[in-house]
Amino acid sequence: MIIDSSFKSVTSIQSQGGLVPNDQHEFNVINGGKSALVTIYQPTMYDMSPYGLTGGQGYIMNCFAQEVETATGKVLWEWSALNHVGPSVSYVPANSTEVSGDGFTKDTPWDYL
């Protein structure tokens, strides 16, 4: 949500492209209010067999960043972690910490980043 100097809501920004709602903790209005940067944490079905998940298919947490035009909601730019940072470089194996996730379900995806 973008607010004015009197704390009234001016507009609301949502992630686009069928992704889960954006994380409001990482939200930055840029370009004089013309667009906003948002982060999205999207559980994604993934072949987890190289990473120790018996049965192969599981869930990994894909992280996205989007620049969204405030007036239209149009995505101006998008970045996907899985397209740039492979899970093989992770220092945190699945199910190795209380927050890394085990990768077995959509609710417990492996947060490899």
Dihedral, 47, 48, 49, 51 alpha carbons, nearest 10: 140
Collapsed DSSP state (helix, strand, coil) of residue 96: coil
Residue range of the domain that includes 9 = 2-89
Residue 21 lies inside a defined structural domain of this protein: yes
Nearest to 42 by CA among 15, 76, 8, 69: 15
Residue 109 lies inside a defined structural domain of this protein: no
Nearest to 60 by CA among 36, 79, 86: 86
Residue 98 lies inside a defined structural domain of this protein: no
pLDDT digits (tens, 9 = 90+) for 20-77: 767 777 888 899 989 999 999 999 999 988 887 767 899 999 999 999 999 999 999 9
Residue 42 lies inside a defined structural domain of this protein: yes
Residue 111 lies inside a defined structural domain of this protein: no
Residue 18 lies inside a defined structural domain of this protein: yes
d(CA 75, CA 16): 7
pLDDT of residue 43: 95
* DSSP symbols for 18-84: TPPPPEEEEEEEEGGGTEEEEEEEEEEEEE-GGGT-TTSEEEEEEEEEEEEETTT--EEEEEEGGGT
Residue 71 lies inside a defined structural domain of this protein: yes
Quote the number of domains for the chain: 1
pLDDT digits (tens, 9 = 90+) for 66-109: 999 999 999 999 999 999 999 999 999 888 998 899 999 999 99
Residue 100 lies inside a defined structural domain of this protein: no
